[in-house]
A and B are shown apart, each in its own frame.
Chain A
C-alpha cells in the first residue's frame, strides 16, 4: 500500500471522536440524499402508474377525415372549417394486420383493438351517460387491469356481457347477473348482462366506463368488421413518443402517445424532480463543507507532524495525497454507511406506512434510492473538498517546525 494511503488511514483511525462525527455527517447527508431520491422517484413512479395504469401508452387511431374541397388551380388556397361531431365516424379497417405489426414490435407488452363510443345505460327510470369500449375476447384487462379490480363477478366477457364500475352499479342499484339496456350514440340498443363490477381506484373510470366484448361494441356503434382504435402498452413507458412516431410511419394511422397527452403530468414530475435535486444538492454541499472544515482543522492541528514529515523527505505531493486520501476514505466509507442507513430508513418507512389493502401510504420506493450515485457523488465531492486542506498542509514550512 502506498505510504500516503497508510498514513491517511492512520489519521482517520486515530481521530476517534472527530472521525465518528465526520463519518456521521457524511452518512446523514447521504441518508437525506437517498431518502429524497427514494421518495421523489417513488412518488414519480406512483403518480405515473396512477395516470398511465388505466390508459394505453400509445394509441393508433384512424387519421381525421377531412372533406374534399373544390379548390381552384395554382395558388388558390382553400380554408376549411370542420365542425367536430359532424364528420363521419373514422374506423380502422384491416385492423388485424396492424395488430400483428404492433405485436411484432420490440418493447410492446400488450395490444388490443377496440371499439369505443358514447352512449347511455338505462335501468328502469334511471339513465346514466357512459363511454362504452369493446375489446377482443381475452383482452379486457390488457389496458386497464380489470381482472385485478373486479369486486364482484368476473372480467371475462362473452357476447352480450358488460362490465361496469362500482359507482355506476351503486347509482343504478344493480349487481352481477342483472341486465341493463345500453343505447349508443348511433341509436342502437342492446340489453346486456352484467358479468362483473370493478373498482380500479379511479373515480372517473368507475363512474364513466363500461366494457363489452368487441362484437357487441361493433354492433352498438355500427362499425361491423372495423375498430376505432388499437391500444398499446410498452415495457418502457418513456419510449412511447419514439414508438408512436415509428408506428405512425409504418401504418399511416394517427399515433398518440401518453406523454403528449399528459404534458401537465410531465411538468409536475419535472418540478418535483427539480425540488428533489435541490435538496440532494444541498446535502452534498453540506458534506463538502463538513469534510473541508474537518480536514482544514486537521491540517492546522497537524502542522508540526507535517513539518517533521517534510524534514524527513516527504514531498509536498505526498502530503497533498495524504489529505486527498483522507477525503476519499471519509467520502467512500461515510457514504457507504449513509447508503446502508438510508436504505434501512426507506424500508422502515415503506413498511410502517403500508396500508392493510397493500397500497403505500407514503409513496417511497427503497429500491429507487440512487445509492450508487449517492456513494459516487459523495466520494468525489469529499475528495474534492480535501483539495484546499491538502494545499494548506503541503505548504507547511518545516523551518517553522524546527524553530518552534
Chain B
C-alpha cells in the first residue's frame, strides 16, 4: 500500500447565516493514498463540493483535522496554506477555467509563477512535455479562447500537474464535455495518475467514472456511507 497523502479526521462543516446553522459535513473520516484514483459521489447537496473545497484548502472546516502530505491544515496560517496549495495541490474544474488572455503554454506555466522558479527554462520544458503528453503540442501557443472544450480541459489537466502535486482534485471534470471527449479526458487523467503517482479525487455524478476508479467514496447528507 502506498503512503497516505491525505487523511481526514472527524471533519465537520457548519454554515452559519444569522441565527440559522446548517451542518453540511457531519464527521467525515477518510484516508487517501499516493497514486490512488478515487471517485467522490453523492447527490446534489450531500456535501461533495464543500468536502472538496476543504480538502483543497480553499475553505476552513468548522472542526476536525485535515492532514495533507504530512501537514496539519489547522497549524498553517492563510499565507502558508496559499503556498502549500501552490506546491502540493492541483485542480481541474468542470468549466476548465483557463485564463483566456494567456496561451495554452502560459496557462500550464501559470502555477509556477507565484513561487518564483529558479530555472524558467526547466519549467518551460516541463510544461511543453505535459502539453505533449495531453496531445496538444501543436496548440501550445494558441490562446485559451481558440481551443475546443476538450482541448481546454486537457490544458487544465496539464496545468493541474505542472507543479508535480501529490494531489489533484477534479470537480465534474467531464461534466461539460461530450461522451467521447469526456472518455478521452478521463483516460488521460487515469494514465497521468499512474505515471506521476498523483492521487486524483474526482467529484462526479457519473457512475462510469466510479466504475473506472480504484475506489469510490459515497457521501450522503454530510456523512460517508461507503469508501
User: Is A313 touching B86 in the complex (CB atoms < 8 A)?
Assistant: yes
Q: How many residues of A contact B (CB 8 A)?
A: 26
**Most interface-central of A312, A398, A403 (chain B CB within 10 A):** A312
User: Is A401 touching B111 in the complex (CB atoms < 8 A)?
Assistant: no
User: Is B110 touching A402 in the complex (CB atoms < 8 A)?
Assistant: no
Contact of A3 among B84, B113, B171 (CB under 8 A): B113
Interface window among A208-216, A280-288, A300-308, A333-341: A300-308
User: Is B56 touching A10 in the complex (CB atoms < 8 A)?
Assistant: no
Contact of B83 among A311, A313, A403 (CB under 8 A): A313
A313-B87, A402-B49, A403-B49 are known contacts. Are A318 and B101 too (CB-CB below 8 A)? no
A398-B58, A399-B58, A402-B53 are known contacts. Are A313 and B115 too (CB-CB below 8 A)? yes
* B residues less than 8 Å from A204 (CB atoms): none
User: Is B101 touching A14 in the complex (CB atoms < 8 A)?
Assistant: yes
Q: Does B72 contact A (CB under 8 A)?
A: no
Those of B31-85 within 8 Å (CB) of chain A: 49, 52-53, 56, 58-59, 78-79, 82-85
Q: Does A202 contact B (CB under 8 A)?
A: no
* A residues less than 8 Å from B93 (CB atoms): 308, 401-402
- Bound Cα distance from A11 to B101, whole angstroms: 7
- Bound Cα distance from A308 to B100, whole angstroms: 12
User: Is A313 touching B85 in the complex (CB atoms < 8 A)?
Assistant: yes
* A residues less than 8 Å from B59 (CB atoms): 399
**Most interface-central of A307, A402, A404 (chain B CB within 10 A):** A402
Give A321 Cβ to nearest chain B Cβ, in Å: 11
User: Is A311 touching B58 in the complex (CB atoms < 8 A)?
Assistant: yes
* A residues less than 8 Å from B56 (CB atoms): 311, 402
* A residues less than 8 Å from B111 (CB atoms): 312-313
Q: Does A314 contact B (CB under 8 A)?
A: yes
A402-B52, A402-B58 are known contacts. Are A311 and B99 too (CB-CB below 8 A)? no
Q: Does B200 contact A (CB under 8 A)?
A: no
* A residues less than 8 Å from B97 (CB atoms): 304-305, 307-308, 401
**Most interface-central of A304, A398, A404 (chain B CB within 10 A):** A398
Which B-chain residue is minimally distant from A313 (CB atoms)? B86
- Bound Cα distance from A318 to B113, whole angstroms: 11
Give B147 Cβ to nearest chain A Cβ, in Å: 16
Q: Does B114 contact A (CB under 8 A)?
A: yes
User: Is A312 touching B86 in the complex (CB atoms < 8 A)?
Assistant: yes
- Bound Cα distance from A11 to B52, whole angstroms: 30
Q: Does A274 contact B (CB under 8 A)?
A: no
Those of B100-125 within 8 Å (CB) of chain A: 100-102, 110-111, 113-115
* B residues less than 8 Å from A275 (CB atoms): none
Contact of A311 among B91, B95, B100 (CB under 8 A): B91
Which A-chain residue is minimally distant from B81 (CB atoms)? A313
- Bound Cα distance from A14 to B101, whole angstroms: 6
User: Is A404 touching B95 in the complex (CB atoms < 8 A)?
Assistant: yes
Give B124 Cβ to nearest chain A Cβ, in Å: 14
* A residues less than 8 Å from B83 (CB atoms): 313, 315
A-B pairs with beta carbons under 8 Å apart, 21 shown: A3-B114, A13-B101, A14-B101, A305-B97, A305-B99, A308-B98, A309-B99, A312-B111, A312-B159, A314-B86, A315-B82, A318-B114, A398-B58, A399-B59, A401-B93, A401-B97, A402-B52, A402-B91, A402-B93, A403-B49, A404-B95
> What 3 pairs across the A-B complex have the smallest Cβ distances?
A313-B86, A3-B113, A14-B101
